[in-house]
Amino acid sequence: MREQHFHLKIETAALLAESDDNRIHHCRSEKWIPYSRAKEVLDRMEDLLHYPPRPRMPGMLIYGDTNNGKTSILGEFLRRHSPQDNPSGVTILDPVLYISCPPKPDEKSLYGIIFNKLFEPYRPKEPARELRYQVVKLLQQVGTRMILIDEMNQVVSTSLNQQRHIWDTIKFLSKELEASFVVAGTPEVNRSIATYDQIANRLPDEALHKWVEGEELYRLLISLEKLMPLKKPSFSIIDPSTDTVKARFDSHFVKELIGRSEGLLGEITYLISETATQAIRTGEEQLNLKMLRSVPLKRPGQRGK
C-alpha cells in the first residue's frame, strides 16, 4: 500500500505536523519549480559558461511577458554558480554576476551597479572611460565569465542613440572580458536588439511563451502539488488495480487557472500558493475549484482599470 501522503515530497509531508501559520508560510515561500523549457534554457546557459574564451563570445537573450519566469531562471542559474572563496587571492571568485538594469540606463549607471554588486567603492563623477577601465579590471580580478542582466526592457525607455550606446557597452565588456552576456526582458528588448545586427548576432533569443492547457502544465501542477503541505491529494490518485500513482485533473479548475493567470508562470504559481493557503485556512486541505475561486486576484490585464 502507498503511504498516506503519497502526493507530497517527503520533506513537504513532514510539514503537516506544523501549525497552520507555518504551513501557509511554506506555501508562500519562494520555490524553484523545474520544467522542461527552463531546463533547456539553463542547459544552454551552462554551455555558454564553459565556452572557450575568445573576443567574440556568444550570449543569449531570454524574453517573454512580464512575470513569466525569466528572473526565476536567472536566479536558479546564479544559485548553481554562487561566489566562491579564493584562497590564492584577495578577492572572491565570482564566475557569474547578476545585475538588474536600472530605469533609463546609461553607461555610467551600468558600471555603478556592477561596482555596488561587488561592494567596490568608486567615484560616480569620474568620466565613463575611467569607470570602464576600473570595471574591466575588477571583473577580471574576480574571474567573471558570465554577466546576467535582468529587466533589460528598461533600455527601451531611452532614445535610440542611448539604446545603441548601452548595447555597445555590453559588446565592449564582452570582448574585453571574453565573457558571455545573458540578458532578460520583455519582447520589446527583442525588437530593440533586432535593429542592431552586431548585438543580435551575439544574443540569439530564447522565448518563454505563455502556458496553455496540456501535458507540460499538468507536470507543473503535479510538481506544485508536491510542494504544498496539504493533507489531501489534489491531482494525484492511486490506481487500486496497480497500486500506482496517477494524475487526474478537473478541467474546470485548469481552465479557471489558465484564464485568471493569463498563462503567466508567476501568476500560476501565485494562484496555486494562495489556493493552498485558503485550503489550509478553511480546512478544505485540497487544491480545487472552490478554493481557487475564493482567491481575490484580478487577471493581469484587468489591473489598474
- Residue ranges and CATH numbers for the domains of the chain are 10-30+211-298 (no CATH), 36-208 (3.40.50.300)
Is the pLDDT assigned to residue 216 strictly greater than 60?
A: yes
Q: Which amino acid, 201?
A: N
Q: Is the pTM of this model over 0.85?
A: yes
User: For the segment 112-162, what is each residue's pLDDT rounded down to a tens digit?
Assistant: 999 999 999 999 999 999 999 999 999 999 999 999 999 999 999 899 899
Pick 6 or 303 by higher pLDDT.
6
Neighbour count for residue 239 (Cβ, 10 Å): 9
Which three cell numbers, joined as nine digits, stand for 272?
Answer: 496555486
Q: pLDDT (tens digit, 9 = 90+) per residue, 5-38?
A: 899 999 999 999 999 999 999 999 999 999 999 9
What are the residues whose beta carbons fall under 8 Å from the beta carbon of 122, sequence distance 6 or more? 111, 112, 115, 131, 134
The C-alpha atoms of residue 196 and residue 163 are separated, in whole angstroms, by: 10
